[in-house]
Chain A
Amino acid sequence: MSTRLRWRKFLSNLMLTMTGLCALISVSALFFILGYLLFNGGTSINWAFFTQLPKPVGETGGGMANAILGSAKLLLAASLFGVPIGFLGGIYLAEFSESATASVVRYSADLLNGVPSIVIGIFAYSMVVLPFKHFSTLAGAFALGLMMIPITLRSTEEFLRSVPRNLREGAMALGASKTKTIASVIVPAAYRGILTAILLALARVAGETAPLLFTAFGNRFWAHGWLQPTASLPVMIFTYAVSPYDDWHRQAWAAGLVLLGLILIINIAARTILSRGIAVPRS
C-alpha cells in the first residue's frame, strides 16, 4: 500500500470520526440540559410550588400556582383561536383553492411562521393591549395563537393532500358531496397527523416568553377572567432567573423543570404514539 493511499484512508477515517463526534456533542447537549434541570429543578421542587401564590419580594417560600394556571389558560385560549383558523384554512388550501389564492395564503403563512416571536408580541400589543388599554390573558393568547396558525395550516394541508386518491374517489362514487367526503372520509383519514402537528405547535408556544412580556405581562396574584394581566411559567422563569434572590433562582429551576418536562412529554407522545409511521413535519 502506497503511503499516499494510506494517508487518504487515514484522513477518511479521521474525518468520519470527527463527524461522529460532532453528532455526539450535539445530541449530548440535550441530555446535559435535561440532566442539569432534573438535578437542580428536582432538588428545588416541592408541593408549595404547585399550590401557593408567589410570596412578597424578600420572603422565601411560596409557589407558582397562578403561573401554572395562567399558562394553561393562555394555551387553551391560544388553541381556540389558532387551531380553527389553521385547520379550516388548511382544508381550504388542500380541497377548495385555486392555485393563485392558495399560493398567496401559503406565502403569508410561511412569512408569519418566520416572524420573530418578539415582533409577534409588538403586533399583539398594538392589536389587543392598546384597544383594551391594559395587559391581559386575551392579548397573550392572541400572540400565541397567531404563532400556532402557520404550523397548523401547513400541516393540515400536507396531511390532507397525502390521503390516497382512491379514498376520495370511493366516497364520491357513493354519491357523497364534497363537504361530506371531506368531513367523513378525508379528515378522519388524516386526523392523526394533523393532531400531532397541532400538539407540536402547542408545545412550541408553551415555552414562548418574548410575545408574553408585553401582552400577558405578569401578575403576582390570581388573574380573574380573561381581561387581567396574568402570570405564566416562561415569564416567571425569566423574571426569577435574572433576579438577585437565591430563593427565586431555586424556583426558576423548579419552573424550568416543570415547563421542559411538559414540553418534552408532549413532543415525545406526539412523535411516537400518535404519529407512528407518519412523517412529522418540522416546526
Chain B
Amino acid sequence: MATVNPTVQSVGPQAGSRSFVSKLRQGDEIARLVTFLFAASVVVVTVLLVYELWVGSALPRAKFGLHFFVTQVWDPILDEYGALPFIYGTLVTSGVALLLAVPLGIGAAIFLAELAPPRISDTLQFFIDLLAAVPSVIYGLLGVFIVVPLMRTVIFPSLNKPLGFLPWFKGPSYGVGFLTAGIVMAIMVIPYIISVSREVLLSVPRDQREAALALGSTRWESTWKVVVPFAKTGIMGSIFLALARALGETMAVTMVIGNTPKISASLFAPGYSIAAVIANEFTEATGDRYLQALVELGLVLFLLTFILNGLARLLIILTTQKGSGIAN
C-alpha cells in the first residue's frame, strides 16, 4: 500500500494539485471542527443542566441543609420544606413496582430467550418494544379509569379482608394511593426488564446449556441453575435500569398516587412522589424558596437516577461486553 502515492492521479502542474489537496484537507478540518462543535455542545448542555440544578436550589440547601431529607413538613405558607414524604412515596411505589415487575419480566425473558423458537421470540419482542413505546400519560389515563375503580371495588376488599390486620393493608381505600401507582408503574417497567434480560440471556454461550443438558439436567434445571446464574449480573443491571425509570416516572404516578404529602404505612393510602410534586406544584410555586425546594427535589431525582443508570450500565457491560447499545 505504501507504494501507492495518492497524488499520482493528478496530471496537472504539481503546485496546483498540492493546493487542491490542501484545500481538501482544509475541508476536512472544517468538517471536523463543525462536527466537534456539535458534539461538544452535548457536553456543554449536560454540564449546564447539572449546574442549573445546583445553583437553582441554593436557597433551600443553605436554609435546610441535610434536614431537607428528614423533615416531613411541606408547608408553602410557613415557607418550610421537607422532602421525606416524597422520598418515601417514590421509594415505596418503585418498590411495589419492582416486586410485581421483576418476577414477571424475568419469567417472560427466560421464555423468550430459552424456550420460544427464534421467530416467535422476535415477534413477541416486537410487541414488547411497542409496549415500551406507549407514553406514560396513556398509562395514567388507563390507570385513572381502570386501575383506580378496580382497586376500590376488587383489590382493596379482597386484600383488606384477610390481611387487614397488617398495617400495609389497612383501610380505607380511595382507589388512588401507593399500591395503585406501583401497579401502573410495574406495567410500565416490565418491557425494560424483558428486553435487557432477554438480550443478556441470549448472550450466554451455547455450550453452557449443552454441558448442563449433557450432565442430565432437565431443561428447567439447565436454565435456572446454569444460564440464569451466568447472566445474573446483567439481569441485575436490567432491574437497576427499570428502577431508574420508575423513580423518574412522572405522569402516570401523578394521576393515580393521590397527591397527599403524607407518610402512611398502608399501601392503600394516598401519597406523593418526588416527580409528582414537581409536576403539580412547579407552575404554582410562589416565592423563591418554594420554587427552589422543588428544584432541589429535581436534583435529588437526578442524582438517584444518575447513580442507578451508571450501576446498571456497568453490570450489563460486565455480562455482555457490549453494553452501551443495550443500556440505553
Q: Considering the chains assembled together, what is the distance between the CA atoms of A113 and B142 in angstroms?
A: 26
A119-B301, A146-B45, A177-B27 known; A96 vs B36 contact (CB < 8 Å): yes
Most chain B Cβ neighbours within 10 Å, of A23, A217, A260: A23
- Per-residue contact bits, chain A 227-269, to B (CB 8 Å; 1 contact, 0 not): 0000000100110011000000100110010011001100110
A36 to B, closest residue via Cβ: B142
Instruction: Please name all residues of chain B whose beta carbon is closer than 8 Å to the beta carbon of A29 when the two chains form the complex.
Output: 131, 187, 190
A177-B24, A210-B251 known; A260 vs B138 contact (CB < 8 Å): yes
Question: Counting CB contacts under 8 A, is B250 at the interface?
Answer: yes
CB atoms of A110 and B309 under 8 A apart: yes
Instruction: Please name all residues of chain B whose beta carbon is closer than 8 Å to the beta carbon of A268 when the two chains form the complex.
Output: 130
Question: Counting CB contacts under 8 A, is B163 at the interface?
Answer: no
Most chain B Cβ neighbours within 10 Å, of A92, A104, A283: A92
Instruction: Please name all residues of chain A whose beta carbon is closer than 8 Å to the beta carbon of B115 when the two chains form the complex.
Output: 16, 19-20
Q: Considering the chains assembled together, what is the distance between the CA atoms of A238 and B255 in angstroms?
A: 8
Q: Which of A15, A200, A207 contacts B136 (CB 8 A)?
A: A207
Q: Which of A36, A92, A104, A149 contacts B146 (CB 8 A)?
A: A36
Q: Considering the chains assembled together, what is the distance between the CA atoms of A249 and B145 in angstroms?
A: 9
CB atoms of A110 and B36 under 8 A apart: no
Instruction: Please name all residues of chain A whose beta carbon is closer than 8 Å to the beta carbon of B129 when the two chains form the complex.
Output: 267, 271, 282
Question: Counting CB contacts under 8 A, is A25 at the interface?
Answer: yes
A12-B220, A29-B131, A29-B187 known; A238 vs B140 contact (CB < 8 Å): yes
Closest chain B CB from A91 CB (angstroms):
5
**What is the count of residue pairs linking A and B with beta-carbon distances less than 8 angstroms?**
289
Question: Counting CB contacts under 8 A, is B128 at the interface?
Answer: yes
Question: Counting CB contacts under 8 A, is A30 at the interface?
Answer: yes
Instruction: Please name all residues of chain B whose beta carbon is closer than 8 Å to the beta carbon of A117 when the two chains form the complex.
Output: 248, 250
Question: Counting CB contacts under 8 A, is B149 at the interface?
Answer: no
B residues apposed to A, CB below 8 Å: 6, 9, 24-25, 27-28, 30-32, 34-36, 38-43, 45-49, 52-53, 56, 103-108, 110-112, 114-116, 124, 126-138, 140-142, 144-146, 187, 190-191, 194-195, 218-221, 223-224, 244, 247-251, 254-255, 275, 278-279, 282-283, 294-295, 298, 301-302, 305-306, 309, 313, 324-328
CB atoms of A125 and B43 under 8 A apart: no
Question: Counting CB contacts under 8 A, is A213 at the interface?
Answer: yes
Near B by CB (< 8 A), chain A positions 1-30 give 8-9, 11-13, 15-16, 18-23, 25-27, 29-30
B110 to A, closest residue via Cβ: A19
Instruction: Please name all residues of chain B whose beta carbon is closer than 8 Å to the beta carbon of A253 when the two chains form the complex.
Output: 141
A residues apposed to B, CB below 8 Å: 8-9, 11-13, 15-16, 18-23, 25-27, 29-30, 33, 36-37, 40, 84-85, 88-89, 91-93, 95-97, 101, 104-106, 108-123, 125-127, 146, 149-151, 153-154, 158, 175, 177-180, 182, 200, 203-204, 206-210, 213-214, 217, 234, 237-238, 241-242, 249, 252-253, 256, 259-260, 263-264, 267-268, 271, 281-283
